[in-house]
Amino acid sequence: MIFAWPAQPVIWILAGLFGLLVVASVASRMMARAPGELRQRIRTWWVMIAVFALALFLDRVGAIALFGLVSFIAFKEYLSLIPTRRADRRVLFWAYLAIPGQYLWVAEDWYGMFLIFIPVYLFLGLALRMVIDGATEGFLRAVGTLHWGLMITVFSLSHGAYLLNLPAEGNPAAGGVGLLTFLVVLTQANDVLQYVWGRTLGRHPVIPKVSPNKTWEGLIGGVATTTLAALLLAPLLTPFSLWHSLLAGLLIGIAGFFGDVTISAVKRDLGVKDTSTLLPGHGGMLDRVDSLTFTAPLFFHFTYYLYY
């Protein structure tokens, strides 16, 4: 079996997302002065939501593999942007092998290994591998940036995939697929909502040194609407009580903001605007999953602690 039929509420959510896409496409076509970038962005949303829908219709292992592909693209973007040493070619190759490794532990449902593989074994192993080559000039920067990239693009994101392993009894409404849908839909909605609130009402910058366009109005409006959406979606997709739904909404809204500005800080440091040109109108994969790198591990542990 490659395909699996997700729980009914997940299908309604997907239908709702495609409905929103239709509305957005029609509206951007009717607006005579809609900027070309907006239309391009909506076209790319069609592709991304189609891929997300495909992931939800794949069986557990298939969906985990697709998550692994997202990590691979994001990690490749990261390695292509940071300064690297020619001497580390082979070390980088080993670092890439961490991706199938990490997602294998997810697929095997080996929780202990999933938690320590990158933070312990690769943390030590990549340093060891670099030392064997003996290039000491720029060693600390090379080993530090490499491990940071693995943590953000592989370790963090793999927590989203691990939601699929959570036993169905813990979430009778929609199972692990429901929790993953809740996380991804709210994280991406939060990005869009913060942007829309910021564009319409934004006056006071939050963190001007990193992201001049991020405003308090955008942040507060975004977090508030994301929390509202969490309250509406939680009964369909999660086992959360009312209080926990509220907390989950706040967590995703605020953590999403910090994920976004963290990747912005990285790009500012490296002097680039986008992480690649993979997703026209959005930039690269890492631009799109920046918020998810923070929300996935935090939401996973929130849920795991309270309900499993």
Partner 1 sequence: MRERIVTALRYLFFLLVVRPLVLLVLGINLRHGERLPKRGPAILVANHNSHLDTLALMTLFRQSQLPQLRPVAAADYFLSRPWLAWFATRIIGIIPLERQVKPGAGDPLAPCDDALERDEILILFPEGSRGEPEQLADFKSGIAHLAKRHPGLPVLPVFLHGLGKALPRGERLLVPFFCDVFIGEAITWSGERRGFMAELEAAMAELAAEGDFPAWE
Q: Which residues bind partner 1 (CB under 8 A)?
A: 72-73, 76-77, 79-86, 89-90, 92-93, 96, 270-272, 276-278
Q: How many residues comprise the chain?
A: 308
Q: How far is the CB of 106 from partner 1 (least distance, A)?
A: 21
The token duo for 242 is: 């009312």
Q: Which is nearer to partner 1, 78 or 105 (CB)?
A: 78
- Longest CA span, the chain: 62
Instruction: Give the three-state DSSP class for 3.
Output: strand
What is the C-alpha to C-alpha distance for residues 79 and 98, in angstroms, rounded to an integer? 14
Q: Which is nearer to partner 1, 77 or 217 (CB)?
A: 77
Report DSSP letters for 121-165, one per residue: IIHHHHHHHHHHHT--TTHHHHHHHHHHHHIIIIIHHHHHHHGGG
Q: How far is the CB of 164 from partner 1 (least distance, A)?
A: 23
Q: How far is the CB of 127 from partner 1 (least distance, A)?
A: 19
The token duo for 68 is: 């692994």
Q: Which is nearer to partner 1, 61 or 92 (CB)?
A: 92
Q: How far is the CB of 82 from partner 1 (least distance, A)?
A: 6
Q: Could you tell me where the beta strands, DSSP code E, fall in 228-292?
A: none
Residue with tokens 């920046």: 290
Q: How far is the CB of 285 from partner 1 (least distance, A)?
A: 9
Neighbours of 15 (CB within 10 A): 11
Q: Which is nearer to partner 1, 139 or 307 (CB)?
A: 139
Q: How far is the CB of 89 from partner 1 (least distance, A)?
A: 5
- Cα-flanking dihedrals φ and ψ of residue 215, to 5°? -120, 160
Q: Which is nearer to partner 1, 90 or 301 (CB)?
A: 90
Q: Which is nearer to partner 1, 11 or 50 (CB)?
A: 50
Q: Which of 144, 125, 138 is nearest to 85 (CA)?
A: 138
What is the C-alpha to C-alpha distance for residues 300 and 72, in angstroms, rounded to an integer? 21
Q: How far is the CB of 94 from partner 1 (least distance, A)?
A: 10
Q: Which is nearer to partner 1, 138 or 235 (CB)?
A: 138
Q: Is the CB of residue 153 less than 8 Å from the CB of residue 78?
A: yes
Instruction: Give the three-state DSSP class for 283.
Output: strand
